[in-house]
């Protein structure tokens, strides 16, 4: 059996196991979150129910901001007075006021301020509304959403494990799949799919450019193209984030990009992605998808541009916390110990990447870090007078993950004439064990913390199973839900550590260490920028 066949089978197996674990984790979150208790979920449900019934955008609602449209959906989805928006921004109040969906399947008019968003995500998650108009429909919508996100995140882990030379790329994927990313993937919100597909696109693109430039292989090309198409069709700003990621790949290894564009499979895949991107941009412009509901922080009418920039930058600390985990209606932040631990792991990964690679790669990582501040600030300032300062970490998440994933991909790529006698400390068993334990504990603690917020509230007791006035009970017993979730987190942490310890492809190691390439390959290698390795 050829090495390529073995690797392809390993890819499918790793993808299947990774997807299964992540889907299980998303399913636990879906059951632990009351209906309507996630950001904008009520209006997202209305949008999904309308899209599967043929209304891609709807009609502008008279007297409402441009973002608000009218659509026709079953009456039970239009009436959100009984769902858990009653606890929004009240973290000490348990979710007992959530009575679930109450109503009939009779068509009625409803408004949504996400009606102009791209329809791809909603066309999938809206399917259960054709069969049910009760809570059952929402839970199945969440499961479909979680499955799509799990497929993308699982593919990212599989690609990093099977094809990447840097073992730290697996760790990077696990660390950018923060508790917030898992939470958003488990509810009805396209941000979860955008984040997951962005992580997969970045990961597959980095492996393609840095490790597989000469012989990319059709499965890797298909994975990259598929993730990029899902990514660019997810949300209004997705084409911008995809463009930035493409520029980063070009800057990392321009010679590798030239090698890739000569391959027919890459040319065909790039053509499909360009067509999808043009279609996405056309829809965004035609449907005015960039119109947003003016719910942000109001700014004084005569504030200077410098003052606007300062106000936007003041949100940086909040965005950092949101990147790790802020749940509910942005009213339930992760415990401080989780946020600090996760940020320390992220910081360590970036430092390793910056200190163990060449100047070109360091420049790209640094540029992405700067862009992660500059681009969101510019977008906030551009419409601050009209809509207020409107931005959340999930809006810029596809950009924020870039510097982290690039750091993981380029770690250890500094050229050296001396042979490497032992793997670096950050790829050894103890380090990967710490990573796995850290990921498992942080994901588990955040799950229990968020569930406690809904069952008893954050102000009365630390016991999420206590009996309190107005308490909330999930669809399955809370004790069983917590046990299953913690078990899933433990398996996930073990799986991440195991993938991180898997040796890189033998052809990559041999090609780097023993100088066994053919003469043309050696010439090509000398012409490549530092850090580019050919399989």
* pLDDT tens track, the chain, 535 positions: 566 677 788 999 999 999 999 999 999 999 999 988 888 899 999 999 999 999 999 999 998 999 999 999 999 998 765 566 678 888 898 988 877 787 788 999 999 999 999 999 999 999 999 999 889 999 999 999 999 999 999 999 999 999 999 989 999 999 999 999 999 999 999 999 999 999 999 999 999 999 999 888 899 999 999 999 999 999 999 999 999 999 999 999 999 999 999 999 999 999 999 999 999 999 999 999 999 888 777 888 888 889 889 988 988 889 999 999 999 888 899 999 999 999 999 999 999 999 999 999 999 999 999 999 999 999 999 888 888 888 999 999 999 999 999 999 999 887 543 344 456 777 788 888 999 999 999 999 999 999 999 999 998 788 999 999 889 999 999 999 999 999 999 999 999 999 998 877 655 554 443 332 333 333 334 434 444 433 3
Query: Could you give the CA distance from residue 163 to residue 115 in angstroms, rounded to a whole number?
Result: 40
Query: Could you give the CA distance from residue 200 to residue 206 in angstroms, rounded to a whole number?
Result: 10
Instruction: Judge whether 390 and 295 are in contact, CB under 8 Å.
Output: yes
Look at residue 279 in the predicted model and tell me its pLDDT.
Answer: 97
Tokens linked to 481: 């839900």
Question: Residue 502 carries which DSSP code?
Answer: S
Look at residue 339 in the predicted model and tell me its pLDDT.
Answer: 97
Tokens linked to 391: 């931005």
Neighbouring C-alpha atoms within 13 Å toward the C-beta of 350: 20
Nearest to 287 by CA among 71, 120, 63, 67: 67
Tokens linked to 163: 């094809």
**33, 37, 40, 43: CA torsion to nearest 10:** 90
Query: Could you give the CA distance from residue 294 to residue 126 in angstroms, rounded to a whole number?
Result: 26
> Mind giving me the DSSP string for 130-172?
GT--SHHHHHHHHHHHHHHHHHHHHHHHHHHHHH-S-THHHHH
Query: Could you give the CA distance from residue 464 to residue 526 in angstroms, rounded to a whole number?
Result: 60
Neighbouring C-alpha atoms within 13 Å toward the C-beta of 127: 10
How many other β-carbons are positioned within 10 Å of the β-carbon of residue 360?
17
Residues 6+ apart with CB under 8 A from 58: 50, 69, 70, 71, 112, 115
Match 């791209």 to its residue by tokens: 118
Look at residue 2 in the predicted model and tell me its pLDDT.
Answer: 63
What is the rounded end-to-end Cα distance, in angstroms, of the chain?
A: 18
Instruction: Judge whether 171 and 432 are in contact, CB under 8 Å.
Output: yes
Question: Residue 504 carries which DSSP code?
Answer: P
Please, what's the b/e burial string for 426-462 (b: 16 or more CB within 10 A of its CB; e: otherwise)? bbeeebbeebbebbbbbbbbbbbbbbbbbbbbbebee
Nearest to 228 by CA among 275, 284, 183: 275
Look at residue 293 in the predicted model and tell me its pLDDT.
Answer: 87
Determine which helix (DSSP H) or strand (DSSP E) holds 112, and give its type and residue range: strand 107-112
Instruction: Judge whether 13 and 164 are in contact, CB under 8 Å.
Output: no
Instruction: Judge whether 331 and 449 are in contact, CB under 8 Å.
Output: no
Match 């292989």 to its residue by tokens: 217
Match 């030379």 to its residue by tokens: 165
Tokens linked to 9: 């089978």
Look at residue 502 in the predicted model and tell me its pLDDT.
Answer: 82
Tokens linked to 491: 């398996």
Residues 6+ apart with CB under 8 A from 378: none
**How many Å separate Cα 533 from the centre of its chain?**
27
Query: Could you give the CA distance from residue 290 to residue 306 in angstroms, rounded to a whole number?
Result: 24
Match 């106000």 to its residue by tokens: 311
Query: Could you give the CA distance from residue 330 to residue 318 in angstroms, rounded to a whole number?
Result: 10
Question: Residue 61 carries which DSSP code?
Answer: P
Instruction: Judge whether 72 and 55 are in contact, CB under 8 Å.
Output: yes
Instruction: Judge whether 181 and 384 are in contact, CB under 8 Å.
Output: no
Query: Could you give the CA distance from residue 375 to residue 396 in angstroms, rounded to a whole number?
Result: 9
Domain extents for the chain? 3-36+147-414+423-527
**143, 144, 149, 150: CA torsion to nearest 10:** 60
- Is 31 in a helix, a strand, or coil? helix
Q: 520-528: list long-range contacts, CB under 8 Å, 24+ apart.
A: 521/214, 524/214, 524/259, 527/255, 528/213, 528/253, 528/255, 528/256
Query: Could you give the CA distance from residue 397 to residue 194 in angstroms, rounded to a whole number?
Result: 9
Look at residue 385 in the predicted model and tell me its pLDDT.
Answer: 83
Please, what's the b/e burial string for 321-332 (b: 16 or more CB within 10 A of its CB; e: otherwise)? bbbbbbbbbbbb
Look at residue 295 in the predicted model and tell me its pLDDT.
Answer: 78
Look at residue 48 in the predicted model and tell me its pLDDT.
Answer: 97
Look at residue 330 in the predicted model and tell me its pLDDT.
Answer: 87
């Amino acid at each position: 059996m050829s090495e390529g066949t073995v690797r392809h089978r390993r890819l499918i197996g790793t993808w299947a196991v990774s997807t299964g674990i992540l889907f299980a984790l998303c399913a636990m979150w879906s059951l632990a979150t009351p209906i309507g208790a996630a950001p904008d979920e009520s209006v997202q449900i209305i949008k999904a129910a309308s899209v599967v019934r043929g209304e891609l955008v709807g009609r502008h609602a008279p007297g409402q901001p441009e973002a608000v449209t009218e659509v026709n959906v079953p009456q039970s989805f239009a009436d959100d007075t009984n769902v858990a928006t009653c606890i929004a921004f009240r973290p000490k109040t348990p979710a007992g006021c959530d009575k679930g969906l109450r109503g009939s399947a009779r068509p009625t008019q409803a408004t949504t301020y996400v009606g102009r968003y791209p329809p791809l995500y909603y066309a999938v998650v809206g399917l259960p509304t054709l069969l049910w108009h009760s809570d059952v429909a929402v839970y199945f919508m969440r499961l479909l959403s979680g499955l799509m996100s799990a497929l993308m995140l699982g593919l990212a882990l599989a690609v990093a494990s099977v094809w990447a030379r840097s073992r730290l790329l697996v760790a990077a994927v696990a660390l950018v799949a923060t508790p917030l990313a898992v939470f958003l993937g488990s509810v009805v919100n396209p941000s979860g799919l955008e984040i997951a597909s962005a992580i997969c696109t970045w990961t597959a693109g980095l492996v393609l450019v840095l490790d597989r430039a000469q012989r990319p292989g059709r499965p890797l090309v298909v994975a990259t193209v598929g993730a990029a198409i899902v990514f660019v069709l997810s949300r209004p700003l997705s084409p911008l984030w995809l463009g930035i990621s493409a520029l980063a790949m070009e800057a990392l290894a321009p010679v590798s990009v030239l090698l890739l564009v000569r391959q027919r499979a890459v040319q065909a895949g790039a053509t499909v992605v360009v067509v999808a991107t043009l279609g996405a941009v056309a829809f965004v412009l035609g449907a005015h998808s960039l119109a947003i509901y003016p719910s942000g922080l109001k700014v004084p009418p005569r504030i200077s541009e410098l003052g606007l920039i300062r106000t936007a930058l003041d949100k940086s600390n909040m965005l950092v916390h949101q990147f790790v985990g802020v749940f509910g209606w942005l009213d339930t932040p992760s415990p401080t110990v989780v946020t600090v631990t996760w940020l320390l792991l992220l910081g360590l990964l970036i430092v390793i990447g910056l200190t163990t690679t060449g100047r070109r790669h360091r420049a790209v990582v640094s540029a992405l870090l700067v862009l992660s501040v500059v681009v969101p600030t510019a977008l906030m300032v551009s419409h601050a007078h009209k809509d207020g300062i409107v931005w959340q970490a999930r809006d810029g998440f596809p950009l924020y993950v870039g510097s982290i994933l690039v750091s993981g991909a380029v770690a250890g790529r500094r050229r050296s004439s001396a042979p490497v006698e032992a793997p670096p400390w950050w790829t050894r068993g103890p380090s990967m064990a710490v990573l796995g334990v850290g990921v498992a504990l942080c994901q588990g603690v955040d799950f229990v913390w968020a569930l406690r917020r809904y069952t008893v509230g954050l102000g009365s007791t630390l016991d999420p199973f206590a009996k309190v006035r107005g308490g909330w009970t999930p669809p399955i017993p809370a004790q069983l839900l917590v046990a299953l979730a913690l078990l899933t987190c433990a398996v996930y942490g073990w799986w991440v550590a195991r993938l991180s310890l898997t040796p890189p492809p033998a052809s990559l190691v041999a090609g780097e260490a023993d100088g066994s390439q053919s003469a043309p390959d050696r010439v090509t290698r000398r012409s490549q920028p530092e850090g580019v390795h050919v399989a």
